[in-house]
Amino acid sequence: MASKRVAEGSADIGAQYFTARNPKFLTFLKEHAGVDSFQEWTAKFGFQGPGQTWQSFPGEPRYVGVPRMTAITRGLSEKVSLQAQVRIARLNRVGAQWQLLCTDGVDRGVFDQVIITAPPAQAEELLLESGLTSLADHVKGPVGEILPCWAVAAHFNEAPFTEFEAMRPDSKALYWVANNSSKPGRNDSGQWWVLHATPEWTAAHVDASSDDVSEQLLAEFAAMPGHSGAAADQAIAHRWLYARSVSEGLPGYLFDAKAGVGIAGDWLAGGRVEGAWDSASRLAEAMLAG
């Protein structure tokens, strides 16, 4: 749920929206992130079907943070004691507790239980460094199933598309394009559009420069049927190495009750924003019950 600062505003470069199939999820957000931190995004969604023709997405409520996606995470973080810019390198067993040591060797304290929410590759590294091989074995499989994604935020003075604000194109390079400025609470001059590359294209260009990525994806965007011909005057690229999970049949969370260590994340519960909340909620219930 990341946003990047751009001229006179911001653009959501990570999760583009979220759904709430469990009504308890919205209740949680209203109570802990704040009722003003998100709104429904009533955009027109389209996808390219056979013959490159555009069709409308099935309707369902879709929500975004206001005035940016990070409004939700900022709201949630205000309720907890948070230490940013810290990476835990190892968990040391101290009696029945865990001592947390960060990469610069600083002791971050001793705790009864630990929850890890890092992507699987980073979680596996931490677990192995901490001697938690059994949990690490459960994480090993999904490590290779988290897909990368190049994201580009581009500014247009004139609208490049008018029929839809969010689209799933039939493209080998582009997985998703959306008018970020159409989301509620954005007061942009012109329009900021966000382009997400396909996992396959990203993997093939994972070490390309940001400028090259922006140029190629914007060229693919301009070639889409219905593009007005408007040219971008600014572009910012960001590479996500751990963007989207394709794993299925995972348990929702992992918990070693004897060790007191749990793992939560969207990748364990379907890969959606709501999946992250569901994973954490179920893990918390299991830890409290134990």
Architecture of the CATH domain 3-76+145-245: Alpha-Beta Complex (3.90)
**Per-residue tokens: 217:** 């994806």
At residue 246 the predicted structure's pLDDT band, cuts being 50, 70 and 90, is confident
Report the pLDDT value the prediction gives residue 7, as an integer from 0 to 100: 85
- Cα–Cα distance between 288 and 290 in angstroms, integer? 5
Report pLDDT digits (tens) over 222-235.
Answer: 999 999 999 999 99
Provide the token pair at 141: 């499989």
Structural contact between residues 186 and 39, judged by C-beta atoms closer than 8 angstroms: no
Asked whether the bond before 184 is cis by omega within 30 degrees of 0, the reply is no
Distance CA(111)–CA(93), nearest Å, equals 10
Architecture of domain 83-144+247-289: 3-Layer(bba) Sandwich (3.50)
pTM of the model: 0.93
pLDDT in tens, 117-174: 999 999 999 999 999 999 999 999 888 888 999 999 999 999 999 999 999 999 999 9
The answer to whether 3-76+145-245 and 83-144+247-289 have equal CATH topology is no
Nearest to 261, CA basis, from 91, 21, 41, 57: 91
Residue ranges of the domains in the chain? 3-76+145-245, 83-144+247-289
- E strands, the chain, are 3-6, 9-12, 38-40, 45-48, 54-56, 63-65, 88-94, 97-102, 107-111, 114-116, 146-156, 166-168, 174-179, 191-197, 232-245, 254-256, 261-263
Which of 104, 105, 143 shows the shortest CA–CA distance to 127? 143
**How far apart, in whole angstroms, are the C-alpha atoms of residue 187 and residue 145?**
37
Query: In whole angstroms, what is the distance from residue 139 CA to residue 242 CA?
Result: 14
For residue 129, report the phi and psi dihedrals to the nearest 5 degrees.
-65, -25
The per-residue pLDDT for range 3-57, each reduced to its tens digit, is 999 988 899 999 999 999 999 999 999 999 999 999 999 999 999 987 778 899 8
Distance CA 213, CA 222 (A): 14
Helix, strand, coil percentages (3-state) for the chain, rounded to 5, are 30, 30, 40
- Amino acid identity, residue 115? I
CB-based contact 220:171 (threshold 8 Å)? yes
